[in-house]
Every structure is written in C-alpha cells, then in structure tokens.
Amino acid sequence: MKHYQILIIGGGTAGITIAAQLKRKDHSLQIAIIEPSAKHYYQPAWTLVGAGTFDFEDTERDEADYIPKGVDWIKDKATGIDPDTNEVKTASSGTFTYDYLIPVPGLVMVPEMIPGLKEAMDKGVVCSNYTDPKHTWEVLQNFKGGNAVFTQPTTPIKCGGAPQKIMYMAEDYFRKKGIRDKTNVLFATPGTVIFGVPSFAKTLNKIIHDRDIIFKPFYAPVRIDAEKQEIYFQYSKPGESNCTIMEGNPLGEELTGATEIKIHFDMLHLAPPQAAPKFIQESKVSIQEGPGKGWIDVDIHTMQHKRFPNIFSIGDVANLPTAKTGAAIRKQAPVLVENLMNLIKTGKVGQKTYEGYSSCPIVTGYGKMLLCEFKYDNIQDSDPLISKFVDTTKEQYSMWLLKKYGLPFMYWNLMLRGKA
C-alpha cells in the first residue's frame, strides 16, 4: 500500500488550488492527487458558451499542465474512504493510506432524480449549460418562439445563479433576433425569491419586471415528457395545499393535481439535480442523518472535519451554507491550507477562519453583468476595491469584461498556480 503525507481526492478547482498553495508554502510535503480526468474545464464560462459568446475549446485544458510540480497524479477514481484506518480505495490502483486527507471531488449530476430528464437531456429542445453548453447554443439559434422555460431542481447545485444567467442571455438574444414578441420567457424555481441577498434581488426583480420575464417561485420540477414537450412542476409554497391558475395565462399552464402544474415548452433549459459522489455519501466522512446528509461534515469556519481531525474539505461537497462556486473556493483554500499547515507543524489546527464568502457573477445580457458577492447569512460582501469604482449592485459593462476576460485569466494563471 502506498502512503502519502497528504492525499487529495479531486483534481478540479479545489484540489489543484490547494495542492499548489501547499507546495508553495512547503516544497517538501509529499502530496498526491487522485483524479481520473485528463481534461480540466473552466466551467464558469459555460454560461457564455451557451449564449454563443465564448468558445467551448477555450474552456478546456490538459489536466497534466496544472498538476503542481512535485505532486504525484494518481490517474484513477476514488471508490471508498475509510477514515478510521486512513485509507482510500481506488478503482484500479489499489488502496492508498494518508496522514491527512482532503476530499474535494466536486459534485455529480443525477438527472435520474427527475423522471424523464435522463432520456431528454441534451437532445432536441432540452438543454443544460451544466452538461453540454454547445447544445444550449444550438437550441437558442433554432428557437422560433413559444415558451422558453428555464428551471432548476430542489437539490443544491453548482452556482445557484447559473440557471438564471442563461435565461437573461437567451431573453436578450431573442430580442436581437426579433422573436421576443412571440416568446414567453419563464424562470421557474423551487426557491422563494429570485436571489437571496436583498440588495442584488432588488436589481434582478427590476430587470425581470422591465423585460417582461415571467417569474414563478415555489415551482419544483418533478417530471418531464420530452416527446410531448411538457414539464410538470410541484407547487411547494408552505401552507398551500392547492394552487390556482389565473385565467388567460400566457403560458397555457394546466393543473394536473391539487398542487401539480403542467407547462408546454418549446425550449427547456435546466440545471440537473446534483449530489455528492456515491463514495462520499457512503463514507463516514459525510453527515449520516438529518440536514446535510451525504455532504462532508466540516466546521464552516476552519474547514476541518468535525469528527476526523486529520481530514479537511472545501468546495462543492463540503456541507457549507454558501454557494458552491469557484469564487468560494478561492477564499476557502487559503483557510484550509493555513489551518492544515499549522496542524502538521504544531499538532494544533490554525486559527484562520472563513466567513462564507462566495460570489455569483450574474450576466444579465450581452455586455451586462451584476457581480453578486456575499457571505454567510446572505449578507452582501462586495470587494472594497471594486466597490470604490463600481456599484456592483447595478448592471455594469466593466463587470462583463471581468467575467469574459479577467476571471478566466485569473483562474488559469493565478488561482490554479496557488497565487490567488
């Protein structure tokens, strides 16, 4: 059995950033990354790919180019973690032991949680930037009018704002194409509001109103009939045991049960349901019961595991009450690295804390963007430097340039190199 001082599961944004930062702090650390994929993707740009304003090829790089120097790459997938014996099993490379473990494998898509979705996914007029943004762009170009439906599941998802970003871009595209007057744009969400942070929600509510976008909160997608191009929603407003549909509704909504609604779609974009990988859910490292079940049980400020002190985690699989974004990882990684280094050197975890920072750059059209930055409890947390020059609660062209050029550059050249 091969042993490593630090074993990282996952060579995505979190895994590479952490490995690079650790190596910069102490070159002598023995680190390995378990990651099966030969390609690394800059997923935040997939919204722009789906809207035809970014090349998919530019979001893809070779994983090998980003594994930090001196870090072993185990090109395999993890299949099990036993925190009691400090062991990680892999599909074909055997078992590895560790002194410290950092499981950061990211989320997996589970479209089968919505009946009919798996069969419909990325075919015909059903698309998702999460899985095939190039297909989204084809669907937009072929769309001739009717109901354009945008929705998201009840599960946690990567970047909660992504399902509405493409909706704003599509709506703008339909205007440019001259078919907006023949189109109903619907954003249906199981959530209660358009955005959790009031200052940003105010701007987004105004955009929705001004651009005649239909917004339906408490709409949870429950099944899809791809043949008939119909989607069914469960109306989930607390305390409501039935729902009524207004007469003359433009979408042609139909009640199919006390709280079930059927809507015909001429195009459908959705975020598929998402979950932690099975090997995480089945390991003791995850929360076993109750809220947060299946997600890694970490302290929300120190990133250290609550029950296994030699395990740390951040990113999409960590049970943190904040958005699952690369921006969150950028603030989580230095906290994990400092606290782990302290533990290695002194036997005590470091004092660095994470306050829940995440950001969601919401593109609201071609050349327009809202930079939504917030921390735990949905408190606005805008960058003091950017805020000096720009009101980030309003749509800005400068923020669009940041999204399209600045952030990808920072990601590839600074963040993954452990410098940002």
Per-residue confidence (pLDDT) for residue 384, from 0 to 100: 84
Q: Taking residues 8-17, report their average pLDDT.
A: 98
In a domain, 217, yes or no: yes
Average pLDDT in the chain: 96
Contact 155, 113 (CB under 8 A): yes
Both tokens of 316, joined, read 């999409």
Amino acid at 401: L
Do 19 and 97 fall into the same domain? yes
377 is written with which tokens? 């409890």
Give a yes or no: residue 370 inside a domain: no
pLDDT at 192 over 80: yes
Residue 394 lies in a domain: no
- Examine the domain organization and report whether 71 and 150 are in the same domain: no
Distance CA 389, CA 412 (A): 26
Quote the number of domains for the chain.
2
Tell me, yes or no, whether 23 lies in a domain.
yes
Point out the domain boundary residue: 223, 258, 273: 273
Asked if residues 56 and 49 have their Cβ atoms less than 8 Å apart, the reply is yes
**Mean pLDDT, residues 68-81 taken together:** 98
Q: Can you give the pLDDT at residue 241?
A: 81
* pLDDT of 247 strictly over 80: no
**Boundary of a domain, candidates 332, 356, 380:** 356
Same domain, 143 and 225: yes
127 classed as catalytic: no
Which strands sit side by side in the sheet containing 87-90, from one edge to the other? Answer: 72-74, 31-34, 2-9, 95-103, 87-90, 78-82
User: Greatest CA separation found in the chain?
Assistant: 70
Share of the chain above pLDDT 90, in %: 94
Based on the domain organization, do 192 and 91 belong to the same domain? no
Residue 362 lies in a domain: no
pLDDT for the residue numbered 16? 98
Specify the pLDDT at position 355: 97
Q: Can you tell me the distance from the alpha carbon of 413 to that of 411, in angstroms, rounded to the nearest whole number?
A: 6
Q: Exposure pattern of 7-22 as b/e (b: 16+ CB <10 Å)?
A: bbbbbbbbbbbbbbbb
What pTM does this model have?
0.96
250 and 117 assigned to the same domain:
yes
One domain for residues 88 and 187: no
Q: What's CA 159's distance to the chain center, in Å?
A: 3
Same-domain check for residues 123 and 264: yes
Burial class for 153, CB neighbours closer than 10 Å (0-12, 13-18, 19+)? buried
Choose the catalytic residue: 127, 159, 243, 372.
159
Query: Do 305 and 255 belong to one domain?
Result: no
Q: Can 360 be counted among the known catalytic residues?
A: yes
Backbone angles phi, psi at 333, to 5 degrees: -55, -50
Indicate whether 414 belongs to any domain: no
Label the pairing between strands 267-270 and 126-127.
parallel
**What is the tens place of the pLDDT at every residue in 112-153?**
999 999 999 999 999 999 999 999 999 999 999 999 999 999
- pLDDT tens digit sequence for 199-224: 999 999 999 999 999 999 999 999 99
| Residue 71, pLDDT score | 98
Distance CA 394, CA 368 (A): 9
Tell me, yes or no, whether 342 lies in a domain: yes
Residue 18's SS3 state is: helix
Are 399 and 369 within 8 A, CB to CB? yes
**Would you say residue 407 lies in a domain?**
no
Q: Are residues 74 and 150 in the same domain?
A: no
pLDDT at 248: 76
Q: How confident is the model at residue 389 (pLDDT cuts 50, 70, 90)?
A: confident
Q: What is the CATH number of the domain that holds 61?
A: 3.50.50.60
- One DSSP character per residue, 110-139 reads -GGGSTTHHHHTTSTTEE-TTT-HHHHHHH
Structural domain boundaries enclosing 329? 2-107+276-356
User: pLDDT tens-digit profile of 313-365?
Assistant: 999 999 999 999 999 999 999 999 999 999 999 999 999 999 999 999 999 99
Cα 223-325-102 angle, rounded to 5 deg: 105
Q: What is the DSSP string of 34-57?
A: E---SEEE-GGGHHHHHTTSS-GG
Co-location of 113 and 151 in the same domain: yes
Do 134 and 261 sit in the same domain of this protein? yes
* Domain end marker among 238, 258, 273: 273
User: Are 53 and 139 members of one domain?
Assistant: no
CA distance 194 to 164: 9
Note whether 102 and 313 are within 8 A (CB): yes
Q: Is the dihedral of CA 165, 129, 321, 408 positive or negative?
A: negative
Tell me the C-alpha distance between 294 and 273, whole Å: 14
Catalytic residue among 127, 243, 360, 372: 360
